[in-house]
A and B are shown apart, each in its own frame.
Chain A
Amino acid sequence: MDANIIIKLKNVNFYYGENRALTDITMNYRKNKVTALIGPSGCGKSTLLRLLNRMNDLIDGTRVEGEILYEDKNIYSPDLDPVEIRRKIGMVFQKPNPFPKTIYNNIAYGPKLNRVGSANLDELVEQSLKQAVLWDEVKDILNQSAMNLSGGQQQRLCIARALAMKPDILLMDEPTSALDPISTAKIEELVEELKKVYTIIIVTHNMQQAARISDETAFFYLGNLIEYNKTEKIFTKPDVKQTEDYITGRFG
């Protein structure tokens, strides 16, 4: 596999029972890049995101065909542990979902359980919070409940929590849809910083957000990958008319 490619999808089909939600998806994600997945509701972008760390395994009656290669191994091969995959491919959800624990324990819980960086937990907590640009705001209240933080802070805490597991890839499912513009700007700036170390794949309904923060953009429609290209190209002169119709609001 090309050294710049971190995940490779080959002819991936995905089914909810009899319904095919994704059709023959073949695409590569590049290392240390932000890739945005866009498309109207029900186009399969979140389904695809959840496929990348086997989150769909948790839904009954689902089925995957094709290959999703990460470090040259199919993540759906039976000998791979989904928990280990989810450690390497972390996820941040639409709504901030901190544990009802202290700020410190929100970060430390996962690593403790999985024995990641357990040699110095304090250091790991500090480092993760710093990476999520939250440290300065919470360093004096680490023992307070995470539930007292604002929505934007809670979302950055969730990012810090994912980073504490030392992942390679961060999946973000509409991470700012529940946040105000200032918190959104902070998360977007954070994404810019994080891509120096991590690979980020983000689902967003906010077209301007995709244009602002991603390097590459994939447009999905009815479970098909319609166009996948550099973000600048997609938002200035897409190759496919359907993409242009969608991003300019001539859809539906």
Chain B
Amino acid sequence: MEERKHTSSHYEKELQEIKNDLIYLGALTEKAIQLAMDSLTQRNSDFARKVMAEDDEIDKRDAQLEEKCIRILALRQPTAIDLRFITTAIKITGHLERIGDMAVNIAEKAIELNQLPRLKPYVDLPRMASLVNEMIRNSLDAFINENLELTQKVHEHEQVVDDLNEQIFRELLTFMLDDSKTIQRAIFIMQISKNLERIADHSKGIADMVIYMITGKSVRHQELSIS
């Protein structure tokens, strides 16, 4: 069905601005993850330092976006789809800010690992990173285009990322059992893997909010049966 525009063109513009800002913030976090992972795989700590320096920009944009949403809540008193859109946007920006922090965590571990001999070729970690970036992209595309199918994809990928995280954990455990000198490096790699797994959780959080925005039904914490 064709989406009608608001009678107030200013209001329409404000809502569009929120969408644009979220797309931009999403792109910044994707770039941060990619750069942190490049720092690890290419053993270039300058990339990692760039991620850490640019996190301030993500934090600043998160704060600005939240402020814009609160302003709309106060001044426009949105209802129905607009209310669900704004509450979803507030949640999404929070998730993206946390994803930015996790990219910083990965960057910090990458700097540590780059100073030590390589423990093993990185195969699964880049795969995880690529999957979580796709999850972020899909969850935001789902938000912008109100697309439920994409949220389903995010859910499916989250399971794959969880499995990869467990697989990496098991593999590194064997390294550590065989040779205690690998423990420090193995723990750093595990922490990177864990951060990627948490990013996947945040992307799923975004997708769940998008489902709420589209359907009006909350799918978060379903085990608690919150009405």
Contact = CB atoms under 8 A, between A and B. Distances in A.
- Indicate whether A and B interact: yes
Chain B's interface size range is 10 to 19
Interface stretch (B17-25, B73-81, B130-138): B73-81
B84 A236 contact: yes
B-side interface mostly: loop
B84 A250 contact: no
B183 interface: no
A245 interface: yes
Interface string B78-118: 11111110000000000000000000000000000000000
B226 interface: no
A250 B7 contact: yes
A235 B81 CA distance: 9
Contacts of B7: 249-252
Contact of B8 (A208, A245, A247, A249): A249
B1 A235 contact: no
B4 interface: yes
Contact of B83 (A235, A241, A245, A251): A235
Contacts of A234: 80
Contacts of A252: 7
Contact of B84 (A207, A211, A237, A243): A237
B4 A245 contact: yes
A207 B78 CA distance: 10
Contacts of B8: 249
A166 to B, nearest CB: 37
A238 interface: yes
Contacts of A237: 80, 84, 215-216
Given A237-B84, A250-B4, A208 B77 contact: yes
Contacts of A250: 4-7
B188 interface: no
A247 B80 contact: yes
Nearest to B5: A250
B216 A247 contact: no
Contacts of B169: none
B204 to A, nearest CB: 22
B216 A248 contact: no
A236 B11 contact: no
B82 A248 contact: yes
A234 B216 CA distance: 11
Chain B CB within 10 Å, residue with most, of A208, A245, A249: A249
Contact of B81 (A208, A211, A248): A248
A235 B87 CA distance: 14
B216 A249 contact: no
A188 interface: no
A174 interface: no
Contacts of A244: 80-81
Chain A CB within 10 Å, residue with most, of B4, B11, B83, B216: B4
B5 A236 contact: no
Given A208-B77, A248-B78, A236 B6 contact: no
A248 B80 contact: yes
Contacts of A236: 79-80, 83-84, 216
A241 B6 CA distance: 14
Interface string A213-252: 0000000000000000000001111100101110111111
Contacts of B215: 237
A244 B6 CA distance: 11
Nearest to A238: B80
Contacts of A245: 4
Interface in A140-160: none
Contacts of B81: 244, 248
Nearest to B215: A237
Contacts of B83: 235-236
Closest 8 A/B residue pairs (Cβ): A237-B216, A250-B4, A235-B79, A244-B80, A247-B79, A248-B82, A249-B7, A249-B6
Given A235-B79, A248-B6, 17 more contacts: A208-B77, A234-B80, A235-B80, A235-B83, A236-B79, A236-B80, A236-B216, A237-B84, A241-B1, A244-B80, A247-B80, A248-B82, A249-B7, A249-B8, A250-B4, A250-B5, A250-B6
